[in-house]
Amino acid sequence: MLSTTDAQERASALIARARRAGADAADAVYVSDASESVTVRLGQLEDVERSENEHIGLRVFIGQRSATIGSSDLSDAALDELADRAVAMARLAPEDPYAGLAPEELLVKGALPDLDLVDPKQLSPQDLRALAMEMEEVARTYPGVTNSEGASASAGGAVVALATSHGFAGAYAGTNRSLSAGAVAGEGSAMQRDHGWRSARHSADLLPPAEIGRQAGERAVARLNPARVKSGPMPIIFDPRVAGSLLGPLLGAISGSSVARRSSFLLDRLGQTLFDSAITIHDDPHWKRGMRARPFDGEGLPTSRRALIEHGVLTGWLVDSATGRQLGLAPTGHAARGVSGAPGVGGSNLFMSAGTISPQALMADIKDGIYITDLIGNGINPVTGDYSRGASGRRIVNGEVGEPVAGFTIAGNLIDMFAALTPADDLEDWRVINVPTLRVDGMVVAGD
């Protein structure tokens, strides 16, 4: 894995090769990552893994024609061939009236922001094993747990560099640390599984391994002997670990590519009120130590915090340069880029504003409802917003969380669900999508 300086220089050198080969314009992206993980089960070492990946991608333009090509070979000879092949491919490609680099005047100027993405503390395989052993010991000795699915601890890092032929060159690095444990409760056909986990850029931001193990055991035992539920409309409470899934479709629906294809359920909702006026949802690529923090986007444009929903109102679309030209909009700094293919649109760290009441108060008036802790499948229609997913969780009776329930689906339409959504005050800020406990009234449950 190259240093950020060497990675930036390598990407810039590939651009120079492309220009010499005949490209009118070009950009190059370098991505590398390395990780180590240790897994234990039943108190014994089960697996040790190390992986390293390094790729570079080149996109070239011949007029309105373009081609993208990538390689894991970074030698001089391989990059010479890469540039020649990319230019030859572009000459044969169809014209695209929206193709091109980002506007030069919008490129990042000056120093990149320091987002504190690199943990200087190194974790050895012995360190990782000790963390995994502690997690699993707590999980498998939790009262009611009958078996272990193991525990894993991992540490890794990545480097991203981007260079363009019209003046941008930048790079950044980041580390990642992760802990996870799985537990099994019950016997035979009555067995139930669940897990605990936490990821962070810095080791100091992880939960103690004993807490991860406790969560795994507690959650597995809480799922034992689930009851069935009757069909009908009822209020639903989403636990924070699944509530964030409601914002994924929102991000897809406000992507410029979805809007340009007219395949978004929010197509005619720009500037309209979608949520309660107390709700704001923002995207923050500059959140320090954020798992998706980034100092520039996939086209070399500056990134910044942006309100996607402000006081309940949809504020705009997220666009890269190509979809911006198609829609007549300026790019928003949300281009996401891999080593193959043209940039698309992607968010960073999402946050929904917290409510003003506790989760207990949020469900206090529910006589018969469901507290969702697990969602299954992805039954979401991005064009209509229709929503239907398998689920499990616990019954809510007279404002109290009761017996476990499973084997049912919940359904609704995202437009109606957003309008009926009420957040609690328990927002945490460690996930990629950060939301508090959420209540949605009027959903349809399909059970017995």
Query: What does the DSSP assignment read for 431-443?
Result: SSEE---EEEEEE
Given a contact cutoff of 8 angstroms between Cβ atoms, the answer to whether 229 and 363 are in contact is no
Rounded to the nearest 5°, which phi and psi values hold at 419? -65, -30
- Reduced to 3 states, what is the DSSP secondary structure of residue 85? helix
Tell me the one-letter amino acid at 22: G
Given a contact cutoff of 8 angstroms between Cβ atoms, the answer to whether 138 and 214 are in contact is yes
Taking the C-alpha atoms of residue 444 and residue 231, their distance in angstroms, rounded to an integer, is: 7
Taking only the tens place, the pLDDT of each residue in 293-340 is: 999 999 999 999 999 999 999 999 999 999 999 999 999 999 999 888
How far apart, in Å, are the Cα atoms of 262 and each of 159, 344, 412?
35, 16, 22
Given a contact cutoff of 8 angstroms between Cβ atoms, the answer to whether 283 and 349 are in contact is yes
Residue 341 has pLDDT above 90, yes or no: no
Please tell me the number of Cα atoms within 13 Å of 180 on its side-chain side.
Answer: 14
What is the structure's pLDDT at 340?
86
Taking the C-alpha atoms of residue 248 and residue 250, their distance in angstroms, rounded to an integer, is: 5
Q: What is the mean pLDDT of residues 190-201?
A: 96
Q: For the chain, how many helices (H) and strands (E)?
A: 10, 19
Residue 203 has pLDDT above 90, yes or no: yes
Taking the C-alpha atoms of residue 355 and residue 363, their distance in angstroms, rounded to an integer, is: 13
- Extended beta strands in 280-338, E state: 281-283, 306-310, 313-314, 335-336
| pLDDT bracket for residue 448 (50, 70, 90) | confident
What is the structure's pLDDT at 25?
98
Strands 350-352 and 433-434: parallel
Rounded to the nearest 5°, which phi and psi values hold at 362? -65, -30
| pLDDT bracket for residue 147 (50, 70, 90) | very high
Residue 227 has pLDDT above 90, yes or no: yes
How far apart, in Å, are the Cα atoms of 186 and each of 44, 271, 400, 406?
22, 51, 24, 15
DSSP assignment of 240-258? HHHHGGGHHHHHHHTBHHH
Q: What is the mean pLDDT of residues 402-430?
A: 96
CATH of domain 4-220: 3.30.2290.10
Taking only the tens place, the pLDDT of each residue in 358-415 is: 999 999 999 999 999 999 988 999 999 999 999 999 999 999 999 999 999 999 999 9
Looking at the chain, the whole-number percentage of residues with pLDDT higher than 70 is: 100
Residues 6+ apart with CB under 8 A from 124: none
| pLDDT bracket for residue 1 (50, 70, 90) | confident
What is the structure's pLDDT at 133?
98
Taking the C-alpha atoms of residue 198 and residue 211, their distance in angstroms, rounded to an integer, is: 10
Taking the C-alpha atoms of residue 209 and residue 190, their distance in angstroms, rounded to an integer, is: 28
Taking only the tens place, the pLDDT of each residue in 70-81 is: 999 999 999 999
What is the structure's pLDDT at 294?
97
How far apart, in Å, are the Cα atoms of 34 and each of 50, 54, 127?
7, 9, 17
Residue 243 has pLDDT above 90, yes or no: yes
Place of tokens 């529910």: 366
Given a contact cutoff of 8 angstroms between Cβ atoms, the answer to whether 404 and 392 are in contact is yes
Given a contact cutoff of 8 angstroms between Cβ atoms, the answer to whether 281 and 352 are in contact is yes
Q: What is the mean pLDDT of residues 182-200?
A: 96
Q: What is the mean pLDDT of residues 45-62?
A: 97
What is the structure's pLDDT at 9?
96
Residue 129 has pLDDT above 90, yes or no: yes
Domain boundaries of the chain, sorted by first residue: 4-220, 226-448
